[in-house]
A and B are shown apart, each in its own frame.
Chain A
Amino acid sequence: MQEKQSKPLSTVKAGETVKLVSINAGQGLNSRLASMGLVPNVEITVVNNDHPGPFVISVRDSKMMLGRGIAHKIMVV
C-alpha cells in the first residue's frame, strides 16, 4: 500500500518533512547516498525547492544539496 502513495522527493515543497521509502539510483549512488544518511525510513526535511536554484534537504542534522535528477529518484511518503 505504502508503495502506491509514494512520490518523488523533487515534488515535495520547502518546509515539509517526509519519510524515505526507496531510492532507485543504481548501485554506486545508492551506497553513496546511504553513507550520507539517506536510508529507508529516515526523515527528510526539504529546505529549499526553488526553481531554478539548489534543491536543499536536511537529513540527520546535516544539510545537503542534491541534483534535481537525484531528487527525482528518491521516493518518499
Chain B
Amino acid sequence: MKKITVAMAGNPNSGKTSIFNMLTGAHQHVGNYPGVTVEKKEGRCKYKGYEITVVDLPGTYSLSAYSIEELVARNFIIDEKPDVVVDIVDSSNIERNLYLASQLIEVDAPLVLAFNMSDIARRRGLVFDIEQLSRLLEAAIVPTVGNKGKGKTELLDAIVATAEQGRPKRAHKVNYGQEIEEELGKIETVVADKENLSQRYNPRWLAIKLLETDGDITSKVQSKEVLDTVGASADHIKSIFGDEPEIIMADRRYGFISGACQETIKSTVELRHSTSDTIDAIVTNRLLGLPIFLILMYLVFQLTFSAGAYPMGWLERFFGWAAHTITGLWPAGSENWLKSLLTDGVIGGVGGVIVFLPNILLLFLAIAILEDSGYMARAAFIMDNTMHKIGLHGKSFIPMLIGFGCSLPAIMGTRILENRRNRLTTIMVIPLMSCGARLTIYALIIPAFFGENWRGPMLWLIYLIGIVLAVTCAKVLRVTVFRGETTPFVMELPPYRVPTLKSVCIHMWQRGWMYLRKAGTIILALSILLWAAMRYPRPGADGLPGLNPEQARQKQLEHSVIGRIGRVIEPALKPLGFDWKIGTALIGATAAKEVFVSQLAIVYAVGSTDEQSQSLREKLQDNYTPLTGFCIMLFCLISTPCVATVAMTRQETHSWLWALFQFGSLTALAYIITLVVYQVGSALVG
C-alpha cells in the first residue's frame, strides 16, 4: 500500500483538532517531539489505496522561531518534508489565518487549505470564490466543518491529488517590493556561495529568514560574510523605511494575502455584535471575572475529586475483593511470599495506579471543556496579574489548585502550559500543594497533640506553609534554574463555542491511556520495589514464636531493608526530633503519603489503624512532644514526593534528572526547615 505523510498546520483555535479527529477518528497516538516537551499527535487512516499518516503540528500563527512550538512545526515541515501540508484556516477570520499559509507557500510546501468553520463564515455573510482563490494561492481549497464532520471525503481527495502531483513549482510568491527584493537577492547569492546551510534549505528562504533576524537560523549561520551582508541589508532597509525589516516584510505578506482576497471574498453582511462579546462582557468583567473564575475552579476541583470518589471507591472495593480472593487460594494463616507479592505487591501496586484513573479522566474532562469552549484563554488572563508576580503563567493556577487533591493529575495537567520554563517550574512546586493523602497524616497527628481549639488553625497553618513555600520556590526557580524572560503576554481570545462530545471524549481517552501506559508502568515497578524493601530480608522463624501478630509484624519491619535504613539514618534525623521509628515510617511514606500512618502503627505494634488510631495517638503522646508532632507534619508536607509523583515527573519532563532534582531538593528543603523549626522551637520551650 502506498503511503502518504500529511502534516497539519494551522493557527491556534482554527479547529485543527476537530479536523484531525475527523480524519483519524480514534486511531491516534500521542507522544512528544524528540528532546522537547511539545506534544506530538499522530493518527492514521486509509483512503483510496493509500495509507495516510497525519501528524498534528502545534498550533502556530507563523513559521518564525518565536516559540518552541513554531520551531517544532517549522522543522517538521522543512526537515521531514511531508507529502502534503494541510493548513487549517478559520474561514470566518481569513486574512489573519492566511498569514501562515503565505509562509507555507514560501517554503514550497505541497499545500491543501481546509477552510474550516465554513458554516460560521457563511452565517457571517462571507462568500468565497474558491476556484479563483485556489488559483492565486496555488493550493487546493476545501471548505470543511470539522466539528460536524463535513468535508471529510473532499479533503481526503485533495490530499491524495496533491500528494500525487509532488512538490510544486510556484509562480506566485510574496513579492517584498523592489528595495527588499534587491537585498534578498544579495543575501541569497552570498548564502548560496558561502554557506553550508544552503544545501539543506532553499537559499531564498534562508535569505528571508536572515533578513528577518530569525533567531534559530541566524544562530546556525557560520559564515561571517553572510552575517555581514545581512547586517548591511537590514541597515539599508531601516534607513529607507524607518522600520525593522521583519515588520515591513510582515506587512508585505498581508499585502499579498489581501491582494488575493480582495477579488475572491465578498462580505454581504455587516459584522454584528456577537454572542461572544456578550459573554465576555460578563466573564471578563472587572468585578465579576474573578468570582466567576473561582466558582468554576471550585467546580473543577469538586468534579475531579468528589465525583471521582465514587468510581475510586468501586475500584478500591474491586481490588480489595481481588486480594481477598487470591488470599483464599492459600490456607488461612499461612505465610507465603507469592501470596504477599500478589496481594500486597502486585494488586497493591496496580490498584494504586488504577484508583487515580477516575481523577485523571475527570480532570481532563473539565480541562477539555474549559479549553474547547474558549474559557481557558479568559481564565489565564484573569489570574495572570497574580501569577505573573511569581513568574508563572495565569494558567499555572489550575494545576496548582488540582495539587491540593493529588499531585498526579496536577502534574499531568501542566500540559495546558505552552512555555517549557513555566511548565517545569509548576511541576517542581506542585508537591508543595498539600495533597489529600497528606491529610490522613495531619488527621492522625493534630488531634494527638493539639487541643480542640487549636486543631482548625493548625491544619490551616500547614496548608498555608505549603502555599507560601510553593510561591517562594516558584519565584526562586524562575530567577535561578529556569531563568529567562516570561513570555510577554499576547493571547487570542477565541470565540466561545460549544465543545463537542467527540472531541472531549477523545481528549479524555488519550490522557487516561497515556497515564496507564507511561506513568502507570513506572509507578507499578517502584511500588513493587518498595514492597520488597519493606518485607525483606525476613527475620528467622525462631525469633517470632510467642509474639502476637502485631509484634510479629513489628519485628519483621525492623528486620527489613526499610527498617534498617530507618536505624541507619536515625543520627541524621535526631536534630529534627525524630527517632528511627519515625524514620522508618517516613521511608515507607514514599510509597504513598498515607502509608506513613500504617507504618507508624506497625512500628508501634498497635495493629490496624482504622479502629485503633486512638491507641496510636496515645503512643505518640507518650513518646513525642507537640513540637515533634508539628515537625512530623512539616516534614511530610515538604519532603519526598511519593514514588508516583516521581514517576509522573519523570514521565512529563522526559528526564530522570528533573524527577530526582525535585525529589532531592524538596527533601533537602524539608530537612532544613524542619531542623530550624525544631531547634528554635526546642530552645524556646526550654
Please list the residues of chain A having a beta carbon within 8 angstroms of any beta carbon in chain B. Answer: 22-23, 25, 27-37, 39-42, 47-48, 50, 52-54, 56, 59-67, 69-70
Contacts and interface: CB of A to CB of B under 8 A. Distances in A.
B286 A52 contact: yes
Given A32-B64, A35-B64, A35-B99, A53 B492 contact: no
A31 B62 contact: yes
B488 A67 contact: yes
Nearest to A41: B251
A30 B244 contact: yes
B246 A31 contact: yes
Interface string B39-74: 000000000000000000000011011110000000
Interface in B275-307: 276-277, 280, 284, 286, 289
Contacts of A40: 243, 247, 251
Contacts of B329: none
Contact of B489 (A31, A34, A53, A66): A66
A40 B250 CA distance: 9
A51 B633 CA distance: 41
A64 B62 contact: no
B490 A70 contact: yes
The 4 closest A-B pairs by CB, nearest first: A34-B250, A35-B62, A67-B489, A35-B61
Contact of B96 (A36, A47, A70): A36
B608 interface: no
Contacts of A54: 284, 378, 381-382, 384
8 contacts: A22-B243, A31-B64, A34-B251, A47-B280, A54-B378, A60-B93, A64-B492, A67-B384
B377 interface: yes
Contacts of A67: 384, 488-490
A31 B66 CA distance: 8
Nearest to A36: B61
Contacts of B495: 63
A54 to B, nearest CB: 4
A34 B61 CA distance: 9
Interface of B: 61-62, 64-67, 92-93, 95-96, 99-100, 212-215, 243-244, 246-247, 250-251, 254, 271, 276-277, 280, 284, 286, 289, 377-378, 381-382, 384-385, 488-493, 495
Nearest to A57: B493
Contacts of B378: 54
Contacts of A37: 95-96, 99, 254
Contacts of A36: 61, 96, 490, 492
A50 B285 CA distance: 9
A60 B95 contact: yes
Nearest to B63: A35
A23 B251 CA distance: 13
A2 to B, nearest CB: 11
Given A28-B66, A35-B61, A36-B492, A61 B247 contact: no
Contacts of B214: 31
Contacts of B384: 54, 67
Contacts of B289: 53
A32 B215 CA distance: 13
Contacts of A32: 61-62, 64, 66-67, 490
Given A31-B214, A62-B492, A69-B489, 4 more contacts: A29-B490, A39-B251, A47-B277, A63-B276
Contacts of B385: 52
A61 B66 contact: no
Given A53-B289, A64-B491, A35 B93 contact: no
A34 B64 CA distance: 11
Contacts of A61: 92-93, 96, 271
Nearest to B284: A54
Contacts of B67: 32
Given A53-B284, A60-B93, A33 B490 contact: yes
Most chain A beta-carbon contacts within 10 A, residue among B99, B254, B490, B492: B490
Contacts of A34: 62, 246-247, 250-251
Contacts of A33: 490
Most chain B beta-carbon contacts within 10 A, residue among A29, A48, A63: A63
Nearest to A37: B96
Contacts of B215: 27-28
Given A29-B66, A53-B284, A64 B490 contact: yes
Contacts of A31: 62, 64, 66, 212, 214, 246, 250
Given A27-B246, A28-B215, A34-B247, A65 B490 contact: yes
B247 A29 contact: no
Contact of B284 (A30, A48, A69): A48
A53 to B, nearest CB: 5
B58 to A, nearest CB: 14
Contacts of B61: 32, 35-36
A5 B4 CA distance: 55
Given A28-B66, A32-B61, A32-B64, A63 B493 contact: yes
A53 B284 CA distance: 8
A35 B213 CA distance: 15
B66 A70 contact: no
